[in-house]
Amino acid sequence: MTQLQAARNGTVTGAMERVAERENVETAFVREQVADGQAVIPANVGHDSLDPMIIGREFGTKVNANIGNSEETSDLEGELAKLHTAVHYGADTVMDLSTGSDLDAIREANIEHSPVPIGTVPIYEAVKRVEEPSDITHELLLDVIEKQARQGVDYMTIHAGVLMEHLPLTDGRKTGIVSRGGSILAQWIEENGMENPLYTEFDEICGIFADYDVTFSLGDGLRPGSLADAGDEAQYAELDTLGELTRTAWDRGVQVMVEGPGHVPMDQVAEQVERQQRVCDGAPFYVLGPLVTDIAPGYDHITSAIGATEAARAGAAMLCYVTPKEHLGLPEQDDVRDGLAAYRIAAHSADVANGREGARAWDDALSEARYAFDWREQFDLALDPERAKSYHDQTLPGDNYKEARFCSMCGVDFCSMRIDQDAREDGEMADIETAGDERTDAGDSPAAEVNRPPVGTHDGASIPPGAVGDDG
């Protein structure tokens, strides 16, 4: 039975209880959100190492990290190292987008070691098993999907919304079809003169997903790849089909989230999220960025985190990170770290702005530690403690500087917080004293009592040699 079927039957599963504990909400609320399709718990029945989590707009905004090898780079050890880096820096889910060699071994190892849900795009493996993409058969696709479900994949991107009738709508685009899955399927449709097999076999796929409780991530194969193409007819025609498929999957008892763009001007992001929520009856929206400008290759973790913040503010439930290597190359461990930092900032900023319970406590605790010159507490509370400490230590490495009432940014004579505090102590500013002074004791807000990042939560997972966090 899937989490959706259980929820509809009024059953609270172990996964729902765990999720309620992690989100600090009532189990009944989790069950209702899952039963209504407003949230998903991607949890393949065969994924034994999973610590269940939930994706939905009423819960904390989640972040996905893409990893995976290509024909040119990486191996099993390297992929496990990337998985560990992604989890260590706070990924809520990880997608294995491998297109190189050893696909089964890498996927199985990832699932075995991962406490977070693992997602895949099965069309990538199908392409690897034929000479030409147009050689893919319906049977091969179903075979790959069934095998990956059996291996324990928690959610799969299925580009079933790319239809034959949509393809002419992409003709005038500036950047055509930029989704890998979308471009493969468009080629298949054109060369075979037949409808998208993921669409025609959707019922069969629902049956497989129901057996293993795999969650759909309905892919946006026609997403815009440039600002010029955002919100065009092709994108919205596909979205309408994704709405139809959402309802079909729900009818079959299968959980669904829907993927979104891509590249979208800032002023259109909220409108796009609202449209998806309307067309897909509130199914969780899982967005890639979006990038709000096309001009900054090398910095697209930033261009896209800006759009992701806006999207989460408007109701997107999960943000797929983008790394600095986007459009340029396969991300390495440092890129995974930078991408995740950008996206966890986006997710948290949106949670604060949306008034998510407990989110602001983290900011307040860090601010109090900062004003109290409690450097160790400040590092401990930081989104990336290792980076915060290493930057501080670059100029003031000694232990004595962990008590210092300044840092090298303004220097000892110009430290505004020290000057402000001395002035208050001298009574010169007594007339503007506020009750806020009492809150500067960081000891009042220990890290354990605020909404700490999940960094280190999964340190018990086996650490491949050389991975971030491997001290040995």
Is 423 a binder of ligand SF4 (CB under 6 A)? no
Q: How far is the CB of 391 from ligand SF4 (least distance, A)?
A: 11
Give whichever of 232 and 363 is closer to ligand SF4, judged by the CB atom: 363
Is 409 a binder of ligand SF4 (CB under 6 A)? yes
Is 379 a binder of ligand SF4 (CB under 6 A)? no
| Candidate ranges 123-131, 249-257, 285-293, 411-419; the one touching ligand SF4 (CB under 6 A) | 411-419
| Given 416, 425, 428, 462, the residue binding ligand SF4 (CB under 6 A) | 416
Is 369 a binder of ligand SF4 (CB under 6 A)? no
Give whichever of 18 and 392 is closer to ligand SF4, judged by the CB atom: 392
Is 345 a binder of ligand SF4 (CB under 6 A)? no
Give whichever of 70 and 416 is closer to ligand SF4, judged by the CB atom: 416
Is 328 a binder of ligand SF4 (CB under 6 A)? no
HEC per residue, the chain: CCHHHHHHCCCCCHHHHHHHHHHCCCHHHHHHHHHCCCEECCCCCCCCCCCCCCEECCCCCEEEEEECCCCCCCCHHHHHHHHHHHHHCCCCEEEECCCCCCHHHHHHHHHHHCCCCEEECHHHHHHHCCCCHHHCCHHHHHHHHHHHHHHCCCEEEECCCCCHHHHHHHCCCCCCCCCHHHHHHHHHHHHHCCCCHHHHCHHHHHHHHHHHCCEEEECCCCCCCCHHHCCCHHHHHHHHHHHHHHHHHHHCCCCEEEEECCECCHHHHHHHHHHHHHHCCCCCEEEECCECCCCCCCCHHHHHHHHHHHHHHHCCCEEECCCCCCCCCCCCHHHHHHHHHHHHHHHHHHHHHCCCCCHHHHHHHHHHHHHCCCHHHHHHHCCCHHHHHHHHHHHCCCHHHHCCCCCCCCCHHHCHHHHHHHHHHCCCCHHHCCHHHHHHCHHHCCHHHCCCCCCCCCCCCCCCCCCCCCCC
Is 28 a binder of ligand SF4 (CB under 6 A)? no
Burial (Cβ within 10 Å: 0-12, 13-18, ≥19) of residue 436: exposed
Q: How far is the CB of 402 from ligand SF4 (least distance, A)?
A: 12
| Candidate ranges 265-273, 352-360, 407-415, 425-433; the one touching ligand SF4 (CB under 6 A) | 407-415
| Candidate ranges 148-156, 200-208, 394-402, 408-416; the one touching ligand SF4 (CB under 6 A) | 408-416
Is 395 a binder of ligand SF4 (CB under 6 A)? no
| Given 1, 97, 361, 407, the residue binding ligand SF4 (CB under 6 A) | 407
Is 429 a binder of ligand SF4 (CB under 6 A)? no
| Given 287, 317, 341, 415, the residue binding ligand SF4 (CB under 6 A) | 415
Q: With CB under 6 A, what is the number of residues at the site for ligand SF4?
A: 8
For 427, list phi and psi in degrees, rounded to 5: 85, 0
Q: How far is the CB of 414 from ligand SF4 (least distance, A)?
A: 7
Is 417 a binder of ligand SF4 (CB under 6 A)? yes
Give whichever of 1 and 417 is closer to ligand SF4, judged by the CB atom: 417
Is 406 a binder of ligand SF4 (CB under 6 A)? yes
Give whichever of 345 and 417 is closer to ligand SF4, judged by the CB atom: 417
Give whichever of 383 and 417 is closer to ligand SF4, judged by the CB atom: 417
| Given 266, 328, 410, 423, the residue binding ligand SF4 (CB under 6 A) | 410
Residues that bind ligand SF4 (CB under 6 A): 406-407, 409-410, 415-418
